[in-house]
Amino acid sequence: MKMKFYELFFGFFFIAFVISMMFVANGFDKESKVFPLGILSIMLILLISIVYKYLREILTIIKNHSRVQSINNNNVSKGEGADEKFFINHNRFWLTTIFGIIYVLTMEVVGFFTSSIIFFVILIKIGGYHNWKLIVPTMLIFFGAIYIVFVWLFERPMPTEFFITLFN
């Protein structure tokens, strides 16, 4: 049941996205808008059928559920798929996502290695792992390998380290 609500939510989210893109595409040149508008129309039809399917399923479950409750005034069933979980661990999901966003947004300001090392430690902490005897050597090998491959071998320019520029 919970998953079906998620399906509905994302269905409506995508419908809103597609409709807004249709408005955007309508402003293109005559030649350039045919194809995007065609694709967006197909997407809208598909989404409406997806939303309709889940809406019908949810209504059926609700109807059956209330029927069961009226027959047996007991908490017999919590509905189909009551145990379904969208997130494996929603706290960890949100923390990972939020820190992931902060990581990519601050990388250019703080520098690649500084932000990456901080992000590494934060993710390990989010995962609840505390064995520093393994974390520290893993980090050293990992960042050492990245430095050797990207900075030494391929000479790729990385976002400059903020703390190093302070001393220059």
Q: Taking each helix axis from N to C terminus, what angle separates 2-26 and 30-71, rounded to the nearest 10 degrees?
A: 160
d(CA 126, CA 122): 6
Asked if 159 contacts 112 with a C-beta cutoff of 8 angstroms, the reply is yes
Distance in angstroms (rounded) separating the CA atoms of residues 146 and 115: 14
Task: Out of 1, 2, 15, 25, point to the residue binding other proteins (CB under 8 A).
Answer: 25
**Closer residue to other proteins (CB): 76 or 164:** 164
- 111 counts as binding other proteins under rule CB under 8 A: no
* Residue of the chain from 5, 6, 132, 163 that contacts other proteins (CB under 8 A): 6
Binder of other proteins out of 12, 28, 132, 163 (CB under 8 A): 28
Please give the structure tokens belonging to residue 15: 């419908």
Distance, CA of 150 to CA of 129 (rounded, Å): 28
- Residues found in the chain: 168
Minimum separation from the CB atom of position 29 to other proteins (A): 5
Binding residue for other proteins, selected from 2, 10, 57, 79, defined by CB under 8 A: 10
Residues that bind other proteins (CB under 8 A): 3, 6-7, 10, 14, 21, 24-25, 28-29, 31-32, 35-36, 39-40, 42-43, 46-47, 49-50, 86-89, 92-93, 96-97, 100-101, 103-104, 107-108, 112, 116, 119-120, 123-124, 126-129, 131, 134-135, 138, 142, 146, 150, 154, 156-159
